[in-house]
Amino acid sequence: MSPPLPRIRVMICDDSAVVRALIARALATSPEIEVVASVGNGALAVETLRRTPADIVLLDVEMPVMDGLTALPLLLKVDPSVRVIVASALTSAGAAIALRALRSGAADCLHKPSSDTRDAFARDVTARVLAIGRRKHALPVAARLPAASRPEPEAALTLRPAPRQKPLLLAIGSSTGGPQALFTLLAGLRRPLSQPIVLTQHMPPLFTRSLAEHLSRVGPRACVEAEDGMELLPDRVHVAPGDRHLLVEAGPGSRMLARLSDSPPENSCRPSVDPMLRSAVRVARGRVLTVILTGMGRDGASGAEAVVDAGGAVLAQDEASSVVWGMPGAVARAGLCHAVLPLDRLAARITELTEAA
């Protein structure tokens, strides 16, 4: 039998006592989580982490004395293994700050609750702490297991042969830990691509626009938040806007267009990866290269199945480099992948497949 995982130790850092209490009550519903500290500013968080180990710090970005952006690198210096989830206001300024935190090493971001979204926020923060905390503890425990009891390595997964046709479209799906993975992936794609790129990252409105702006700065290509009817251009990244599904639609000639949809959430997500992939398969006649990056849940799994059934290819980020191996693990375990690779090797495989004759 596998040894039990240790409890996930959490520090809450927010200048609002009301918000700290809300988060503490939410986390107390899980026996897997232990709140080890609750502090009111970044300076206290850094000092507390020096003497009270934590697996996860829930960090507000706007606080007196020391804000979250200033505290973040100091927390990571005290404990490079700590996972930091930042919380910011659902505003353009808050979204920009959250994306700066993600580029600086935060594992995930949340938008702070309003009076009518507190219940949803409580469920969301608990789910993210559990997913990130379990992942943080799982690999050290797996390493201590007898060889016969260890999880199956990626090398033992069933892989699909390389596609026979050059793709017409690159489609990327990501969630928890996705922004950092996207910064690395897109920066690694140094050569121009002849294919348009569509991207669904689970994020709320305003955050996706800020994500597109940040991605434009880290790579050699333009990245925009998709608009309804926008032409999908080669070597440009088109990001699904928060709370809208991004679909691919046939345009005049061989052109492809973005179509935004308010249809119901799928996999509890809007935007969702699955409808994007289904529409891409129809328009590109199966010639779709799909990349599934780190994220909670299994969004993208049914869409990836449609891709491979139509003759396309799927790549997945491996477990060791993922913040959460939910989405990529779902497609890998289902035998849908052409390759399961560390994040720093995905760009080279994408280049190889997109330039194939």
Give the residue numbers annotated as catalytic, written as ranges.
Answer: 175, 202, 299
| Maximum pairwise Cα distance, the chain | 64
Q: What is the DSSP string of 283-339?
A: HTTT-EEEEE-SBSS-TTHHHHHHHHHTT-EEEEE-TTT-S-BSHHHHHHHTT--SE
Of the candidates 108, 328, 127, the one whose C-alpha atom is nearest the C-alpha of residue 207 is 108
Q: How far is CA 175 from CA 186, 228, 288, 341, in A?
A: 16, 22, 20, 17
Q: Which two tokens stand for residue 228?
A: 């309804």
Q: How far is CA 278 from CA 27, 119, 175, 293, 300, in A?
A: 36, 32, 18, 18, 10
The arrangement of strands across the sheet holding 237-239 comes to 223-225, 237-239, 197-201, 169-174, 288-292, 313-317, 339-341
Q: How far is CA 315 from CA 31, 162, 202, 273, in A?
A: 35, 10, 19, 14
Q: Where are the alpha helices (DSSP H) in the chain?
A: 17-27, 42-51, 68-78, 92-103, 118-144, 178-188, 207-218, 273-283, 301-309, 327-333, 343-354
